[in-house]
Amino acid sequence: MKKLLKYTGICSFILALIAFILMLGTNSLVFNYKEGALSVSTSISGVLGTFGGTYTILGISTTCNATWSAIIAFILILVAMIILLAGFILPLLKIHALDKVAGILNFVAVVALIIAGIFLFIELPCFAGANGGGDTTGWSLGGGWIVGGIMCLFAGGVAILPAVFDFLGKKKFHDDI
């Protein structure tokens, strides 16, 4: 088990990278409305849902504002990926400058990934609030963002495994004494 725990950092990095790609590469929001013969369908891309821009609905160009939750999730995923990658690459290069703060950095990555996952899930109400409307009828969160949020939460869970097993190992040892 100890050999597998060495690779939790890179596994968590890969999961966070997949979540990051899903965040930017898939639709953040999808609009489907059907009433009688009228059927309207459009989507907001991940980049547009995060940073704002212009989209077209019913042939009318509409400008949308950036969403605070998506921007923070974007930044937190990037920070967590950098920390996780540094935690995996630096020991391979025999650089031990971060050994004393590795646990704290790993904890920061875990918290960043969990918060980013939660912020991906609250994109719909934040997008509505940032663009002046509270009505979200017909809008739904894109499937890629749902999977990305789950991946962020799972990456945070994988990243915390070494600390959990270390804590459980010490607790078992102290109980035996």
Question: Phi/psi of residue 133, each to 5°?
Answer: -130, 140
Structure confidence at residue 57 as a pLDDT band (50, 70, 90): confident
- Angstrom distance (rounded) from CA 61 to CA 120: 25
110-155 pLDDT, tens per residue? 999 999 999 999 999 999 999 887 788 888 999 999 999 999 999 9
- Angstrom distance (rounded) from CA 169 to CA 172: 5
pLDDT value of position 163: 80
* Beta-sheet pairing, 38-45 with 27-35: antiparallel
Residues 18, 24, 26, CA angle at the centre, nearest 5°? Answer: 85
86-100 pLDDT, tens per residue? 988 888 888 877 778
